Amino acid sequence: MTAKDTNDILVIGAGIIGLSAALELQKQGRRVRILDRTGVAAEASAASAGAFAFTDIVPLATPGIMRKAPKWLLDPLGPLSVPPAYALQIAPWMLRFWRASWRSRYQAALQAQVQLMAHSRAALERQITDVDGEPLMQREGQMQLYEGESAFRAALPGWQLRREHGIRFDLLRSPQAIAEVQPGLAPRFTHAAFTPDWMNTVNPNSWAEHLGQTFVARGGSIDTAEVTALRSEGGQTVAQTKDGPVSASQIVVACGAWSHQLASTLGENIPLETERGYNTTLPPGAFGLQTHLTFPAHGFVITKISGGVRVGGAVELGGLKLPPNYRRADILLDKAKHFLPGLDTSGGTQWMGFRPSMPDSLPVISRSARAPGVIYAFGHGHLGLTQAAGTAELVASLAANTPAALPMQPYAATRF
């Protein structure tokens, strides 16, 4: 079958990564088309915490973390869990996760994450300026909260690591100091760290829609189509859809947790797994939130979304097919009520989404080893919003065959 609708560059995925990449490629003067099976920000990009978490430089696979693995299996409602029904299937990924936690590999991943975060922070500011996006930003900082002196002291090495990489923060050592930043917290939180440069979007769905509207206004197109396979044919790269083939000189794969399925049609086995995230969004008036709140010991955050409050987080490595376990969202909301006694938990909307996760916490940003016309941009875990603008600039460099802003080997699809 002859491919139809030849494009310059085809982007598969209209989430925050795909939209950002399409805009950046468009700035290069490329003719870009986006295909998505459901529409703009219809998956994980629509309902994240809305945070640009540039301070989150530490990979999930830290030295010694595998000693906690049995506890994950025994606590399916904990902040980081593996459902028993999925334990056997995820075993190969967990083996790679364990290897990524080896000290030498961890240090390499940490350095790569630091570089990508620094690049992405600067790229985001360029993106905000380019699309007139400042009205959709909230620059209100973030506070991580600790219960007691011992928990606080255990966290200090991580804060020292951030200091070494130029991240500004203030350590708060009393409930009174905490209340000056965020009133209304339970007195059990005795210590905190406040990062003033942290920022959020007012709503991740609104931000993604704004990027999509800007892309279309500049001449791009976003169409609904499910891509089922990729192949090379006659000097072009072809995306097979249910409505027929679509060809392009280059294709960018940015479809999140489903990306590895397309890579497999090219014969590439990329170890992508799914962090299933849960949240509940409460309407305006639920609480007077002044800053983004993070509860590291409990694995969730409370953040302001369109004047309301979103309570969510945790990591459930459960794949794409298991049914949602909304008990996780219920537990997070119940904890939030105890942590913020004045929180009105009525009228909430629950959500579960799939976040694409690699064993070493680094995304895949590289050309395919099997099809030179395919560029991969996926696997950001819970940092997709944070790293989208930086990833977009790197994708544009790959597409133009120009030097990238940072070493690209740590993000290669072939690194495993």
Which CATH number does the domain housing residue 122 bear? 3.50.50.60
Is 20 inside a domain boundary? yes
Q: Any bridge partners for residue 380, and if so which?
A: 357
Query: 45 with 287: CB under 8 angstroms?
Result: no
Interval 135-166: pLDDT, tens: 999 999 999 999 999 999 999 999 999 999 99
Q: Which two tokens stand for residue 403?
A: 């030097």
Q: Which domain holds residue 106?
A: 1-63+101-137+200-272+359-416
What is the distance, to the nearest Å, from the Cα of residue 286 to the centroid of all Cα atoms in its chain?
26
pLDDT-derived band of residue 2, with 50, 70 and 90 as boundaries? very low
> Would you give the DSSP letter of residue 364?
E
Q: 81-122: per-residue pLDDT in tens?
A: 888 889 899 999 999 999 999 999 999 999 999 999 999 999
What per-residue confidence (pLDDT) applies to 6? 63
Evaluate whether residue 68 is within a structural domain: no
What pLDDT does residue 100 have? 95
Q: What's the CA angle centered on 44, arms 41 and 45, to 5 degrees?
A: 45
The per-residue pLDDT for 235 is 83
Phi, psi of 119 (to 5 degrees): -65, -40
CA dihedral of 355, 357, 361, 362, whole degrees rounded to 10: -100
Q: Which residues of 222-244 are buried (b: 16+ CB within 10 A; e: fewer)?
A: beebebeebbbeeebbbbbbeee
78 belongs to a structural domain:
no
Instruction: Note the pLDDT of residue 84.
Output: 85
What pairing do the DSSP bridges indicate for beta strands 4-12 and 300-305?
unpaired
**Spatial CB neighbours of 312, under 8 Å, sequence gap ≥ 6:** 49, 277, 278, 279, 280, 300, 301, 329, 332, 351
Report if residue 185 sits inside a domain: no
pLDDT of residue 68: 73
Asked, for residue 403, whether it belongs to a domain, the answer is: yes
The answer to the question of residue 132 being in a domain is yes
- Tally of structural domains, the chain: 1
3-state DSSP assignment of residue 107: helix
Q: How confident is the model at residue 1 (pLDDT cuts 50, 70, 90)?
A: very low
- Taking only the tens place, the pLDDT of each residue in 158-215 is 999 999 999 999 999 999 999 999 999 999 999 999 999 999 999 999 999 999 999 9
- Residue 328 CA to residue 331 CA, distance in Å, equals 5
What residue type is 338 in one-letter code?
Answer: H
Kindly state the average pLDDT of the residues 222-249: 94
Specify if 112 maps to a domain. Answer: yes
Statement: residue 320 has pLDDT above 70: yes
| Residue 3, pLDDT score | 47
Average pLDDT over residues 351-365: 95
SS3 116: helix
- Of residues 236 and 79, which shows the higher confidence score? 236
Which residues, 6+ apart, have CB-to-CB distance to 55 below 8 Å? 142, 162, 167, 169, 195, 198
- Of 374, 376, 373, 353, whose CA–CA distance to 270 is shortest? 376
pLDDT of 156: 97
Residue 313 within a domain: no
